[in-house]
Amino acid sequence: MVMPSILNSISGLIKHKLWREDLHFPMVVVGDPGVGKSSTSLTLANAVDETFTIDRVVFKPTEFFEVAREVERGQAMIFDEAGIGLHVREWQSITNIIFSKLTQVYRFLNVFVVFTVPDITYIDSHARNEMKAILDCKKKDLEREVVIGHWWVVFRSRVFGTTTLEKLKLYGNDGQEIVVDPVEFPRPPERLWLAYKRKSEKYKRRVIDELYDELQKLEDGVIGNKIDGHALRRLMRQEQALMRMYEYMSNRLGMSDREIAGIMGVSPPTLINWKAAWRPKELAANS
């Protein structure tokens, strides 16, 4: 029995849904930071949509709807978490907004939409039920340059209100059904990956700049006794996101403090001072 190419088979199935069955195909890619969620999403989008470019990779809801206004039938979009560590509730709110609006017009769009998140709980429960597939990325094989994971097909019963998951099934050249698990996906084209890295780094810089501005406002507000509890809680969550971003770049990417400070646009001594302020909070959270 000869097993067909997994990427070609899956992209063919998705194209069939979009063009032959006149359906949309939203899916979610989950996995730990650095496991290859973004690169695999790019690989899938590029395989399904020959016109796919980095312009259809977005990080914010406003950007998503801007692209959705221009997207055409059969095209692909990626909503990427980008490793910035947004709070689960924030992501649930984001995906709920997207699906509550787009499900009204999805039957006209017929597009392939990929969400990348660390965990399925980041997706609002209502949005989760609309997914057609879930890819659980587990690890990278650096020698073979592939990402290994499990592909789950989502089946939703509109009668009983239940959702079930089944492993991917393909047909061999002899027509026999094959359960494919695990699945492997190659790296995306180099030009696409480099464009993604540039775009995601630019976005992360912008997030850091916005966080710095908010923290500056917090400092000014504390001095002027004009801070409110809601703003304080929001800024505390943003500080936690910045802490997680630092940990990701340091522990997962192996970057030095000097390199991280350069990306953040601050001096190394400033980053050291930030870390000194974060450490007691980390200890308190883990105690």
d(CA 227, CA 287): 28
Among 174-178, 187-191, 222-226, name the one with the lowest average pLDDT: 222-226
Distance CA(126)–CA(93), nearest Å, equals: 11
Lowest model confidence (mean pLDDT) among 54-63, 64-73, 193-202, 254-263 = 254-263
Confidence of residue 161 (pLDDT cuts 50, 70, 90): confident
Q: What is the mean pLDDT of the chain?
A: 80
For residues 238 and 240, give the distance between their C-alpha atoms in angstroms, rounded to a whole number: 5
Whether 87 has a pLDDT exceeding 60, the answer reads: no
The percentage of the chain sitting over the pLDDT mark of 70, rounded to a whole number, equals 78
Crossing angle of helices 229-247/190-223, nearest 10°? Answer: 140
Distances (CA, A) of 137 to 3, 37, 109, 244: 21, 6, 28, 20
Residues whose CB is less than 8 angstroms from the CB of residue 231 and which lie 6 or more positions away in sequence, other chains included: 218, 221
Say whether pLDDT at 41 is over 80: yes
The tokens 């939703």 sit on which residue? Answer: 156
Q: Is the pTM of this model over 0.75?
A: no
Predicted local confidence at residue 3, as pLDDT? 43
Q: Which residue has the tokens 């094959």?
A: 178
Position with higher pLDDT, 88 vs 25: 25
